[in-house]
Structure 1
Amino acid sequence: MSSPNQYFVLIVPACAALLGMAMIYCWSRLRDHRYLLWIASGYISTAIPLGIHSLMPNEHLARWTVPLSTMYLFGVWALAHGVAVRFGGRSAPRLAGTIMFITLGGLFYFSQIHDDLWLRLQILGWSLALLIALPAKSILLSSRTRPIPLAALLRASYLTTLLYAFFRALALTTLIPREIQPDLTQSGFWLLMLAANMFISIWIALAILTSTAMSIVQTLDHERSQDPLTRLLNRRAFFEQVKKRLERYGHTGWAVIICDLDHFKIVNDTWGHAAGDRALKEFGALLARTVRQDDLAARFGGEEFVLLIRSTSLHTAVLVAERLRSSAMNLHIPATAHTLTASFGVVQLNSNGDINQAIEQADRLLYEAKHAGRNKVIWKAS
């Protein structure tokens, strides 16, 4: 084997192994992204036999067929399974196990009992293609409530890998002569296959790692914008979203509702802060169920909540507040005998309305409701 070719065939599995180790490192820092560990296992499990095969002469291949093919089969399935897990799907592990068992049985026969390298290549090539195809439905047709960053790129990467696997199997069937020459692993076909493997491996790795990084950024941004207890927007995120809504839709057709739980200190003092947290969670969930797609709900702190809702009239906004007030009284707070009530201040924005002034005005109306006996809704146009 010439020196340049020898270096090249070692570069490809070395790159795959390094990509696998990089994903293991990422997984060690991001344990909830378990698909990274599967994909890393796939890279490393295929890199080892690929490197050995690339340096091994044909006359030694039969002896190592079963152990090396086992690593190939597991590695390819792990890679496909990892991508499927990324999309919230699965890759039929029982069917995969059946394919592996039948494949290894055939490889054992044609290596230890009746040595036939050409048939071994066919069996392994088509089996690898089938393993990659197992999660095709869950990957290509998956739909999730929370979209995956770069989902289209990930699907394209998987589809490219799938097509390449079947093309490689077909090429092994049509381009490799029945009587294989001793220098197969040094041939131009083998080098071309290694180059394609390296290109696809790097492409998939970059797509997976980029998608993961974007998921982390989205999660951090989501957590930075969320109240940790109620999962509603926090004050900072509320004003950011309000600005976007008003810039997009204008100032008209909006109403601000401020609400505050009545006698909330009694809940904490009588039944403990755990009961108080539960009350806040239940009320926050009520607000989340009430708001629509363009509406906003936020916890400003303590037991105070603010809503910006699409409302064509003050009357409509008041009806929403009244419905919330009535629903709050029906909330069940475990381990307490407390009936939850809330007071509301409602302001309708006009074309010249300022959101900060509207919130201040709604806040004053809220305290009027408190002084008027609580569990009331008081309103006024901005």
Structure 2
Amino acid sequence: MSNPQLTLAAPFTAILYLLGSWLGAYAISLKLNTVFQHKLAFWIIFFAVLALTYYSYVEPQIWFRLIILNLALGSVGLLVIPTLLRQLPQTRSFDRWVSIFYFLNVLYSFVRATINFLFLENIDHDHFTLTSSTWWLLGMSVNIILNILFAIVLSGCVIKDVIQHLNNERLHDPLTHLLNRRGFFEKSATLPVTSQSYFLVSLDLDHFKTINDTWGHYIGDQILYGVSQMMLQDKQPNDLIARFGGEEFICLFLAEDAAAALVRIEHYKMLLEQTSFTHYQIKMTASYGLTHIHNVHDIEYALQRADDLLYQAKTNGRNQISFDLML
């Protein structure tokens, strides 16, 4: 395009650039889980478009337009940079590379503004065609390369997020968001060996069928979710909590000894008895089967023992803890 053609199209192409920068910065803010300053971005773009329109149709100045556009692009992108830099040390793999390339793109907008300021002032005086300028071509080439690399990294990040999301769905119960049976076995297979002992408790809500028959399955689901949240609030870093189906929950946890493990489950029992669920203020109890795991990789045998103990607790009257511990 000739310089007059560039001048005629400048405000319209600039709007596309600026909107792209706005959407890109907003997308990064969503990724960083932070609030985006939309009003500030709007005013930056608004005044940039006014200035670009003035230097296109009132007092045509290609040099000024290039500087204004790149400064505006960098300023919009800069709105999320403080949060990005704070979170960068905690980000991993593709997420970190997305942040790095976004930062480089924002930084390059200011670099291009500097290059335009230093080397392209003579465009309007000497009337040479901008698109044939070595500096302009070099700037566009670097910009294209950066954006291609950013797009590749971003695509990888999206693929990683999709795979992680699908894997989470595969390993977690959709109602309670606890581990499901498959997730429990996969996670337990990677548990580290420690000086402390592992214990396993199986708990089953008492008379839960009566809840579904009386209040309906929707209320029943709310109670199951409430119980899961109660267990998560008491969760320790190495605990594995799972819903094995229906109203049965499993918790694998570390304790110094059998007495400490029993105290932990008695605390669970007390929490459940003191909690009211849904707006109907429904009270629940549970039966518990608690066992010691002698070999952390022998989970299935421990589950069978915990299940037998749970059945024993129900047979003996429910709302109690049955265990085979050596206290």
Q: TM-score, normalised to structure 1's length?
A: 0.79
Matched residues, number: 324
Q: What is the CA RMSD across the aligned residues, in angstroms?
A: 2.3
Where 2:97 maps in the other structure, the secondary structure is helix
Residue 120 to residue 254, structure 1, CA distance change in 2 (3 Å): same
Conserved? CA contact 2:88–2:99, under 8 Å = no
Structure 2 unaligned segments of length 5 or more: list them. none
Aligned to 1:347: 291
Pair 1:362-2:306 in alignment: yes
Matched letter for residue 176 of structure 2: T
Q: Percent identity?
A: 31
1:233 to 179, 188, 192: 179
**Cα-to-partner distance string for 1:74-126 (whole Å, 9 max, x where unaligned):** 22222222222222234422222222222222222222222222222222222
Q: TM-score, normalised to structure 2's length?
A: 0.91
**Cα-to-partner distance string for 1:327-364 (whole Å, 9 max, x where unaligned):** 11122233656531101111112358832222211211
Residue 354 to residue 117, structure 1, CA distance change in 2 (3 Å): closer
* Distance apart, 1:214 and its partner CA: 0.8
Aligned to 1:255: 199
Where 1:381 maps in the other structure, the secondary structure is coil
Aligned to 2:23: 78
1:98 to 35, 38, 43: 43
Aligned-partner Cα distance in 2 for 1:322–1:193: 68
Q: How does 1:195-344 map to 2 (within 5 A)?
A: 195-245=141-191, 248-249=192-193, 253-334=197-278, 336=280, 338-344=282-288
Where 1:254 maps in the other structure, the secondary structure is strand
Pair 1:110-2:55 in alignment: yes
Aligned-partner Cα distance in 2 for 1:144–1:90: 20
Residue 287 to residue 153, structure 1, CA distance change in 2 (3 Å): same
Pair 1:188-2:107 in alignment: no
Q: How does 1:20-169 map to 2 (within 5 A)?
A: 56-142=1-87, 150-169=94-113
Matched letter for residue 46 of structure 2: F
* Distance apart, 1:189 and its partner CA: 2.0
Farther-moved stretch of structure 1 (320-329 vs 99-108): 99-108
Conserved? CA contact 1:258–1:305, under 8 Å = yes
Aligned-partner Cα distance in 1 for 2:76–2:126: 26
Structure 1 unaligned segments of length 5 or more: list them. 1-55
Aligned-partner Cα distance in 2 for 1:183–1:331: 76
Aligned-partner Cα distance in 1 for 2:42–2:280: 53
**Cα-to-partner distance string for 1:269-310 (whole Å, 9 max, x where unaligned):** 122212221221111111212221101111111111111100
